[in-house]
């Protein structure tokens, strides 16, 4: 009897990581905050309203708003650009860690 083989999993290796503290007191509409990204980690989503927009190299996009992410969540995708949309909300921030394919 043949033994099933496991699929090979490709995990992109980050060349750089950066902590982003995003001040939500400034309104944004699809403002790019990172590009050529291998992973996004939610460190502290805070209590504000925001939407992260993941844009992929094939032109597709995936959005997550504050109700769909939790502190500690990680997203391991090959992301061409990461955008942020939010209304102006005084005193609120979102903290994320972004890992890059190459040096930005």
Query: pLDDT per residue over 8-51, tens digit each?
Result: 555 556 578 999 999 999 999 999 999 999 999 999 999 999 99
Query: pLDDT per residue over 48-93, tens digit each?
Result: 999 999 999 999 999 999 999 999 999 998 999 999 999 999 999 9
What DSSP string runs through 17-80? EEEEEEETTS-EEEEEEEEEEEEEEEEE--SS--EEEEE-TTS-EEEEEGGG--TT-EE---EE
User: What are the chain's domains?
Assistant: 16-100 (2.60.120)
Q: pTM of the predicted model, to two decimals?
A: 0.83
């Amino acid at each position: 009897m043949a033994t099933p083989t496991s699929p090979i999993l490709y995990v992109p290796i980050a060349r750089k990581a950066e902590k982003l503290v995003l001040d939500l007191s400034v309104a944004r509409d699809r403002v790019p905050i990172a590009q050529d990204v291998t992973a996004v980690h939610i460190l502290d989503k805070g209590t504000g309203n925001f939407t992260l927009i993941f844009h992929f190299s094939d032109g597709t996009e995936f959005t997550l708003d504050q109700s769909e992410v939790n502190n500690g969540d990680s997203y391991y995708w090959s992301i061409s650009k990461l955008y942020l949309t939010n209304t102006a909300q005084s005193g609120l921030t979102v903290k994320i860690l972004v890992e890059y394919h190459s040096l930005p």
